[in-house]
Chains A and B, each alone.
Chain A
Amino acid sequence: MTASIATNQTILVVGGGISGMTAALEAAECGKQVILVEKTPVLGGRTARLYRYFPKMCHPTCGLEINLRRIKQNRNIRLMTMTEVVSATGSRGNYSVTLKVAPRFVNENCTACGKCAEAVSAEVANPWNYGLDKMKAAYLPHNMAHPQRYVIDPSIVGTPEGEKAKAACPVGAVDLEMKEETVTLQVGVLVWATGWRPYDAAKIQPYGYGRFKNVITSLEFERLADPHGPTGGKILRPSDGKEAKNVAFIQCAGSRDENHLRHCSRICCMASLKQTQYVREAFGDEGKSTVYYIDIRAIDRFEDFYQNVQKDATVSFVKSKVARIAENAENGNPILHGVNTEGYQRYAVEHDLVVLAVGMEPEITGVKLPDDVILDSSNFIEGSKDQGMFGAGAAASPLDVNRAVQSATAASLRAIQVIRKTASTEAV
């Protein structure tokens, strides 16, 4: 079907994370028409799954709340969730974009009352918690989900479980007949705010992610620390559910490594410094964090945070890229082998848990990017030859949140300029 909701005066923002929301909102609050497309059922993206932000240790959902409030009341933004860009053709000022809308199996009648989830017993892996736990197959993705509507997992559609969900809904919101739709839009400009994904830690073989249960990624650790995560905010290690009081943080897990990612992912040092404070928050002086690093990249005012963490007696720093991890078969403790290069000290240390500070890869898989899009050597979006498409946030460069917002705001203005030029050309 072809939707007439967009014109060449419309800005299409792809991705509903912090960058996409920012790009969409800033343009919409300048009076421009925006379609915001998000692949998952909810806005928020990767940052909404962080427990706290560095360096203020505040909660990402706080900023999310403000942005959602802005989006809910702004009529210039049309939000499409569970929607992916399949292809984009055309040129600056006049793109034809094909979108694939996956069925939610729940319509806008949903009041988020939760009866469907009560009725269903089937469970699926919970992507919000990176699969660390399970959730009902009828679910509200998270507490601050927007749209605040349940989702029926496709795995139970066509099964008695699906019917249970349908029967339980008091407002007729469950629609198991929904089908995937393809929508084509004409838009003037595209902002790719598709964000990032963690580098596949299993590829960093010496660290044994996937082989050793107590080696996890920094993103998984965020979920462990989060009261809304799978452990209710308790830092419990996966192998035996014991409190992980002695935690190792391994920097550059994938980043700055020609065997993996050529670039530095910028955020990981600060993320680990932040996470040492999760350990402190959970265990006080009983906690112990060790950061294994090459260079601590606490840039600009983040340096203050680094200096504060350095003062924390529970945190120690080892200038070393860990060579390999083995596992103590008796207690499941990961054993880190390596050398402290400052003065050459060899170590073989056991920790309760190892957190790999995994690097950022641009998340553009599955999208047929137009040939015009220019990618850099790590596949981040530099822009497009016709200057009608822009990367924003972590799709454009490995960025922390405040720089991603800066980048998205800039991209938003560049998009507005394209729209303006299109309009003035047409007026002639």
Chain B
Amino acid sequence: MAKKEYAFYPGCSSQLKASASNYLVSTNSMCNKLDIKLTEIPDWNCCGASIGYCEGGELPRIAINARNFAQAETHLPGQDIVATCAACWLSARESKERLDASAQLMKETNEALAAAGLNYKGTAEVRHMVEVLIEDFGYEGLKAPMKKSLEGLKIAGYVGCQTNRPFGIAGESFENPMYLDKMVETLGGEALTKYEQKVTCCGGALAFSEPEKSQKQIRDIVESAYDHGAEMIVTPCPLCQANVEVYQSEINKKQGTKFNMPVVYYSQLMTVAYGGSAKDAALDGQLIRAEKLEKIAGK
């Protein structure tokens, strides 16, 4: 199979020593095994994220996303832009769709880009890594590089919001997307398909500004995973991962719970199933160690 090439948009959190560095590391390992070549968009910038709305406004947010597109079009022509971060993907795709839909907006955006000598033509496609995996490889294709089964591992697939809404993965429902479950099953693990908090919001950026309210969300997400007998949670979103993993200790402290639920990325599961080491899968990047997964990696 020919190598598949994509323009990679890792986003601010998926940089080395950033909060989702384990996502970056495991993504790279996973892509190696799948023979995917990711090339970072040269000099990419932050997407603005949703929370940028307040100060950023509409056009500046779209313009900075267009800057990334322009860079990709220029330097990686013909390659789809692939994001791993839910917020990056959403901001980018939303910007792209709005630019595609409005000639006026396109004009204004290019006026802004011109200030840096750039131009966006509207050719690059914006995709999420999960879309690449499902659409370009398919579940059967994802099975191919498997070296180990995740047999016996009970995993709650937590999809969260922004990889799911408003765009989502083609063919999946907003209320009960099944792709994480299918991925887990593909890798031989036990998917907890009835896990009902799979699309509950973790609070997003409000984890910072409204900790009480967000932690209530997080508590529901973790508690339900326990109720269904989960041994870990898997997610495709760095903010979901961070919020759900990091705040468990806070919740324990405040509310007397004893949460200790590992939260991993699908890329980590795949790296392990594809025979990668715990280090390849960046399992050392977990605040709550995914011991069972480490064990399989160590086998």
Chain A positions within 8 Å of B, measured between CB atoms, are 205-206, 208, 211, 324, 326-327
Contact of A326 among B173, B174, B196 (CB under 8 A): B196
Knowing that A205-B173, A205-B174, A206-B175 touch, tell me 9 more A-B residue pairs with CB under 8 angstroms.
Answer: A205-B175, A205-B176, A206-B174, A208-B175, A208-B176, A211-B176, A324-B175, A326-B196, A327-B196
Contacts of B175 in A (CB 8 A): 205-206, 208, 324
CA distance A208 to B173 in the complex (A): 11
CA distance A417 to B175 in the complex (A): 52
Interface string of B76-106 (1 = CB under 8 A from A): 0000000000000000000000000000000
Q: How far, in Å, is B273 (CB) from chain A's closest CB?
A: 28
Closest B residue to A205 using CB positions: B175
A205, A206, A324, most chain B CB atoms within 10 A? A205
Q: How far, in Å, is A342 (CB) from chain B's closest CB?
A: 26
CA distance A206 to B165 in the complex (A): 13
CA distance A326 to B196 in the complex (A): 8
Contacts of A327 in B (CB 8 A): 196
Q: How far, in Å, is A343 (CB) from chain B's closest CB?
A: 24
CA distance A324 to B165 in the complex (A): 15
Q: How far, in Å, is A246 (CB) from chain B's closest CB?
A: 22
CA distance A326 to B175 in the complex (A): 11
CA distance A211 to B176 in the complex (A): 9
Closest B residue to A327 using CB positions: B196
Closest B residue to A208 using CB positions: B175
CA distance A52 to B175 in the complex (A): 34
Q: How far, in Å, is A206 (CB) from chain B's closest CB?
A: 5
CA distance A382 to B121 in the complex (A): 43
Contact-size category for B: under 10
Contacts of A205 in B (CB 8 A): 173-176
Q: B174-198: which residues lie under 8 A (CB-CB) from chain A?
A: 174-176, 196
Contacts of A211 in B (CB 8 A): 176
**CB < 8 Å A-B pair total:** 12
Q: How far, in Å, is A239 (CB) from chain B's closest CB?
A: 14
Q: How far, in Å, is B197 (CB) from chain A's closest CB?
A: 10
Contacts of B196 in A (CB 8 A): 326-327
Contacts of A206 in B (CB 8 A): 174-175
CA distance A326 to B220 in the complex (A): 14
Closest A residue to B174 using CB positions: A205
CA distance A281 to B181 in the complex (A): 44
CA distance A69 to B151 in the complex (A): 66
Contacts of B174 in A (CB 8 A): 205-206
CA distance A211 to B196 in the complex (A): 11
Q: How far, in Å, is A324 (CB) from chain B's closest CB?
A: 7
Q: How far, in Å, is A26 (CB) from chain B's closest CB?
A: 45
Sample 12 A-B pairs with CB under 8 A, ordered by A number: A205-B173, A205-B174, A205-B175, A205-B176, A206-B174, A206-B175, A208-B175, A208-B176, A211-B176, A324-B175, A326-B196, A327-B196
Q: How far, in Å, is B230 (CB) from chain A's closest CB?
A: 15
CA distance A83 to B270 in the complex (A): 53
CA distance A324 to B173 in the complex (A): 14
Closest A residue to B196 using CB positions: A326
Closest A residue to B173 using CB positions: A205
Closest A residue to B175 using CB positions: A205
Nearest first, the 10 A-B pairs at minimum CB distance are A205-B175, A205-B173, A206-B175, A205-B174, A211-B176, A326-B196, A205-B176, A324-B175, A208-B175, A327-B196
Q: How far, in Å, is B224 (CB) from chain A's closest CB?
A: 10
CA distance A205 to B175 in the complex (A): 6
Q: How far, in Å, is A203 (CB) from chain B's closest CB?
A: 9
Contacts of A326 in B (CB 8 A): 196
Closest B residue to A325 using CB positions: B175
CA distance A208 to B175 in the complex (A): 8
Q: How far, in Å, is B176 (CB) from chain A's closest CB?
A: 6
CA distance A187 to B174 in the complex (A): 48
Contacts of B173 in A (CB 8 A): 205
Q: B224-245: which residues lie under 8 A (CB-CB) from chain A?
A: none
B173, B175, B176, most chain A CB atoms within 10 A? B175
CA distance A143 to B124 in the complex (A): 62
Closest B residue to A324 using CB positions: B175
Q: How far, in Å, is A263 (CB) from chain B's closest CB?
A: 23
Q: How far, in Å, is B199 (CB) from chain A's closest CB?
A: 10
Q: How far, in Å, is A330 (CB) from chain B's closest CB?
A: 11
Interface string of B189-217 (1 = CB under 8 A from A): 00000001000000000000000000000
CA distance A373 to B155 in the complex (A): 53
Q: How far, in Å, is A360 (CB) from chain B's closest CB?
A: 23
Q: How far, in Å, is A335 (CB) from chain B's closest CB?
A: 11
CA distance A68 to B196 in the complex (A): 50
Contacts of B176 in A (CB 8 A): 205, 208, 211
Closest B residue to A211 using CB positions: B176
Interface string of B138-176 (1 = CB under 8 A from A): 000000000000000000000000000000000001111
CA distance A326 to B173 in the complex (A): 15
Q: How far, in Å, is B272 (CB) from chain A's closest CB?
A: 31
Closest A residue to B227 using CB positions: A329
Q: How far, in Å, is A405 (CB) from chain B's closest CB?
A: 39
Q: How far, in Å, is B122 (CB) from chain A's closest CB?
A: 26
CA distance A324 to B174 in the complex (A): 12
Closest B residue to A204 using CB positions: B175
Q: B249-289: which residues lie under 8 A (CB-CB) from chain A?
A: none
Q: How far, in Å, is B226 (CB) from chain A's closest CB?
A: 13
CA distance A205 to B176 in the complex (A): 8
Contacts of A324 in B (CB 8 A): 175
CA distance A327 to B176 in the complex (A): 13
CA distance A326 to B174 in the complex (A): 14
Q: How far, in Å, is B220 (CB) from chain A's closest CB?
A: 11
Closest A residue to B224 using CB positions: A329
Q: How far, in Å, is A43 (CB) from chain B's closest CB?
A: 38
CA distance A261 to B101 in the complex (A): 24
Q: How far, in Å, is A314 (CB) from chain B's closest CB?
A: 31
CA distance A324 to B201 in the complex (A): 14
Q: How far, in Å, is A207 (CB) from chain B's closest CB?
A: 9
Q: How far, in Å, is A334 (CB) from chain B's closest CB?
A: 12
Q: How far, in Å, is A2 (CB) from chain B's closest CB?
A: 45
Q: How far, in Å, is A346 (CB) from chain B's closest CB?
A: 15
Contacts of A208 in B (CB 8 A): 175-176
CA distance A205 to B168 in the complex (A): 14
Q: How far, in Å, is B170 (CB) from chain A's closest CB?
A: 15
CA distance A326 to B176 in the complex (A): 12
Q: How far, in Å, is B213 (CB) from chain A's closest CB?
A: 15
Q: How far, in Å, is A214 (CB) from chain B's closest CB?
A: 15
Closest B residue to A259 using CB positions: B174
